Amino acid sequence: MSADVAIEECTDVYVRLECDLLVVRDSILTDRHHASNTNYEADDPQNQIGGIIPAFSLSGWLRHGMERVVQDRGGTACHPGEANANFRKEEVYERDLEDGYHPKGSCLEETDDGCVIFDLFGGFNAHPGKLMRRPIRFSPVRASVDYTRGQAEGHYRRLNRNVVSRNDADDREPLRNVELDAVANLDGCWHLSFREVKPAFLGLLCEAIGFLHDHRTDFRYQLGGARNFGAGVVYCELLNPLYEDDELTRVFDRARTPTDAMERKDDQWADDYRPAVVDALHERIDDHSNKDI
């Protein structure tokens, strides 16, 4: 059964993300308009607000982990910024290029597909990238979360932070007010789709998710903002790509344990598939390094 699944058939994969507090500034889109109802109070805990976490921050976080995996193997990664972007911090960009990056797209001079990062994320108009990173739809009502569609349980709040006067005479007079959009208790699936599957892509995804999980409290690899306040510490895991939909859903059912079939698939993935895709990744990175890109 699952032993017959070809890696090229794994076009849709799911990463489980668990995060106590996620702050992505003002970019969380809620399904409730703040002025839609006179009874609506933004901070009422009874509010059942769902919404969308856009993929931009998630994508940058994943890409950063992937770049690091490539660099740790001795390769260089495509810089995320355009080579001719006229960076305000030119010297910082130059330093990046000496520290494990090559100018975006320069790898196309050696091969049609570029480096593995370019191949996944694309760069210029004719190269759209082969990895689609979808937004995550979240809901506070677990029963309405469809994990097979890349959804998550999560609780939205708009948080207020006040910077107050330090002078006794001012009696904590607010100097500045900052509103933050936050999602708490996030637990769900991030749906990633490969437009074309290559074993090295899955290898890089496996390695990067493992790296990001292990480095989840490292400031550079936390997700989004408010990092010094413990936000963006993400427990992440690539869910077994061999799982069927009902098995994927079962992962999130706290009342049920994995079936025998799921455990067999876990062994298959760990013993056969994963080593093969990681080998393919290493081969591709080494190949590029040898061409001195």
Phi, psi of 180 (to 5 degrees): -125, 135
Q: Which of residues 107-136 bind Zn ion (CB under 5 A)?
A: 107, 114-115, 118
Tokens at residue 185, please? 């208790």
Type of residue found at 46:
Q
Type of residue found at 96:
D
Please, what is the minimum distance in Å from the beta carbon of residue 90 to Zn ion?
Answer: 20
Stretch that binds Zn ion, among 29-37, 57-65, 99-107, 229-237 (CB under 5 A): 99-107
> Binders of Zn ion: how many residues, by CB under 5 A?
5
DSSP 105: T
Whole-angstrom Cα distance, residue 202 to residue 241?
10
Q: In this complex, which beta carbon is closest to Zn ion, that of residue 15 or of residue 115?
A: 115
Stretch that binds Zn ion, among 49-57, 74-82, 199-207, 236-244 (CB under 5 A): 74-82
Q: Is there binding between residue 70 and Zn ion (CB under 5 A)? A: no
Stretch that binds Zn ion, among 86-94, 105-113, 128-136, 255-263 (CB under 5 A): 105-113
Q: Which of residues 144-203 bind Zn ion (CB under 5 A)?
A: none
224 Cβ partners below 8 Å, 6+ apart? 22, 23, 24, 25, 57, 61, 231, 232
Q: In this complex, which beta carbon is closest to Zn ion, that of residue 118 or of residue 190?
A: 118
Q: In this complex, which beta carbon is closest to Zn ion, that of residue 107 or of residue 145?
A: 107
CA-to-CA separations, 262 to 147, 203, 210, 245, in angstroms, rounded = 17, 21, 20, 11
Q: In this complex, which beta carbon is closest to Zn ion, that of residue 104 or of residue 137?
A: 104
150: Cα separation from own chain's centroid: 12
Residues near Zn ion, by CB under 5 A: 78, 107, 114-115, 118
